């Protein structure tokens, strides 16, 4: 019965691909990597077929998933130096970061469409010994192909949001049998564990590992951070707001915070009058839009992509229009705002700034990161704003009270340290399966 459902799913996917194919080819965003997705393996990877044989195939859909799994990739190379690693991504941004960070230790390529004629060439060339899916990627065709070839499949940092769970649960007659094919599932939290087992995953093969994203949050050397601050003309007494992973409407919100603090400091000479704002949009396609919003508020946009810095003129906002830089830039912050929380997105990783003991503000939309957000809030390490207007008030709290800012940062850093270690647990889970592969 399940094979029939998978066949129907793949027929539907093939039809959709035929009709949407012209759209994919016309749009630059979807055209990138299209031939690899269709099953055409590049010649350089074909030539490395012998070296890749018996690899561990890791699929990380985009930047967030790759950054999460990268510490685990390094751990696998350290512990299993003779085992080749292949990493697939779906998005161009994920591909770019993967090649930049792991291109020297892994084969990087685009994940094929979930159809036999797209998947088979990659399986033939790579001949993986093990497949690992990062977070939530349940591809029926890929899973069935792994089973057909007796390739164990695992999921690390596994998560299903409450919203997605409702959809998966309604279709558990389809997804349940697929989850049972996994040799192991490493869930981020107890809530995620419960969702997976309710959909149909076996409780015997599903365990709680924690969030491997936290393990990658390690501070850079002081000398490197000092050089970064100097290169941007940021002084030790400047009050710096770093707004990370922003979405539509959130640049407006943090610009209003900046304007409110500047108005306050102009009236009170005892306050720090050098207030700087760094904005890092979540998606590259919004970089120009963010620059326009900054200029509409009367500020000049200084851009990372142009190697610009803050000048002595003032009235400037720094636009971090580059990939893979955000966590490092959090080191500059007096306070951080994590985006996707005022916009109705569901939030991004609110723990990242605590690698540098930076207090964090966020909005009310934290559905995608609620376990981390609630835990930080409970230990007094998160400033949650009810809306954009309330965000001004929350940032003012740490602007006016350095001791409070320091205390929040220390609490968050302590929580982060206590909750790291998921990479080692994930490696142990993988190793226990890998050692039993032929």
pTM equals 0.81
Estimate the share of the chain in helix, then strand, then coil, as percent rounded to the nearest 5.
55, 15, 35
Q: Above 80 in pLDDT, residue 36?
A: yes
Helix residue spans in 149-271 (DSSP H): 162-170, 172-179, 190-199, 222-231, 250-267
Instruction: Identify the CATH number of the domain defined by range 222-418.
Output: 3.40.50.2000
Neighbouring-strand partners of residue 299: none
Q: CA 211, CA 65: separation in Å to the nearest integer?
A: 11
Say which DSSP state 325 is in. Answer: -
Instruction: For residue 139, give the nearest of 118, 156, 115 by alpha carbon.
Output: 115
Instruction: For residue 253, give the nearest of 217, 222, 293 by alpha carbon.
Output: 293
pLDDT digits (tens, 9 = 90+) for 288-338: 999 999 999 999 999 999 999 998 888 899 999 998 899 999 999 999 999
- For the chain, domain boundaries: 22-216+421-434, 222-418
Kindly state the greatest CA–CA separation across the chain: 74
- Long-range contacts of 285-289, Cβ-Cβ distance < 8 Å, separation of 24 or more: 285/29, 286/247, 286/248, 287/319, 287/321, 289/248
Matching residue, tokens 């590259």: 284
Average pLDDT over residues 352-366: 97
- In which band, very low, low, confident or very high, does the pLDDT at 272 lie, cut at 50, 70 and 90? low
Average pLDDT over residues 71-76: 95
Average pLDDT over residues 86-102: 94
Reading the block at residue 85, the tokens are: 């690693």
Separation in Å, CA 339 to CA 168, 255, 326: 27, 13, 12
Q: Which residues contact 366 (CB under 8 A, 6 or more apart)?
A: 341, 346, 347, 350, 373, 374, 384
Give the range among 105-109, 270-274, 421-425 with minimum mean pLDDT: 270-274
* Count of Cβ atoms closer than 10 Å to residue 354 Cβ: 28
- In which band, very low, low, confident or very high, does the pLDDT at 7 lie, cut at 50, 70 and 90? confident
pLDDT digits (tens, 9 = 90+) for 159-193: 988 888 999 999 999 999 999 999 999 999 888 89
Reading the block at residue 319, the tokens are: 């636009």
Class of domain 22-216+421-434: alpha beta
Average pLDDT of the chain to the nearest whole number: 92
Q: CA 104, CA 98: separation in Å to the nearest integer?
A: 10
């Amino acid at each position: 019965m399940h094979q029939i459902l998978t066949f129907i799913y793949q027929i539907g996917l093939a039809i959709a691909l035929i009709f949407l194919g012209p759209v994919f080819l016309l749009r630059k965003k979807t055209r990138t990597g299209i031939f690899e997705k269709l099953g055409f393996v590049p010649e350089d990877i074909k030539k490395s077929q012998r070296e890749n044989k018996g690899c561990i195939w890791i699929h990380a859909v985009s930047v967030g998933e790759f950054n999460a799994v990268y510490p685990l990739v390094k751990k696998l190379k350290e512990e299993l130096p003779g085992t080749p690693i292949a990493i697939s991504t779906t998005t161009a941004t994920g591909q770019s970061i993967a090649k930049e960070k792991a291109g020297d230790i892994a084969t990087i390529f685009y994940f094929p469409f979930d159809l036999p004629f797209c998947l088979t060439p990659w399986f033939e060339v790579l001949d993986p010994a093990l497949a690992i899916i990062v977070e939530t990627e349940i591809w029926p065709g890929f899973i069935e192909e792994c089973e057909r070839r007796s390739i164990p499949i695992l999921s690390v940092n596994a998560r299903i949001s409450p919203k997605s769970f409702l959809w998966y649960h309604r279709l558990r007659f389809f997804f349940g049998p697929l989850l049972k094919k996994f040799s192991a599932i490493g869930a981020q939290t107890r809530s995620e564990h419960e969702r997976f087992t309710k959909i149909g995953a076996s409780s015997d093969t599903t365990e709680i590992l924690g969030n491997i994203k936290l393990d990658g949050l390690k501070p850079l050397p002081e000398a490197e951070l000092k050089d970064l601050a100097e290169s941007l003309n940021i002084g030790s007494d400047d009050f710096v707001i770093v707004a990370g992973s922003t979405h539509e409407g959130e640049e407006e919100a943090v610009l209003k915070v900046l304007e409110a603090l500047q108005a306050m400091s102009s009236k009170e000479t005892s306050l720090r009058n050098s207030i700087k704002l760094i904005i890092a949009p979540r998606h590259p396609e919004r970089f120009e839009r963010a620059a326009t919003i900054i200029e509409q508020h009367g500020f000049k946009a200084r851009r990372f992509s142009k190697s610009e810095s803050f000048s002595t003129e003032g009235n400037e906002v720094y636009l971090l229009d580059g990939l893979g830089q955000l966590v490092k830039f959090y080191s500059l912050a007096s306070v951080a705002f994590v985006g996707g929380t005022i916009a109705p997105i569901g939030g991004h990783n609110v723990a990242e700034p605590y690698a540098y003991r930076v207090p964090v503000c966020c909005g009310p939309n934290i559905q995608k990161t609620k376990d981390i957000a609630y835990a930080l809030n409970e230990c007094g390490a998160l400033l949650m704003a009810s809306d954009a207007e309330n965000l001004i008030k929350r940032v003012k709290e740490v602007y006016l009270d350095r001791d409070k800012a320091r205390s929040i940062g220390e609490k968050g850093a302590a929580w982060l340290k206590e909750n790291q270690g998921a990479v080692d647990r994930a490696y142990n889970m993988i190793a226990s399966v890998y050692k039993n592969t032929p």
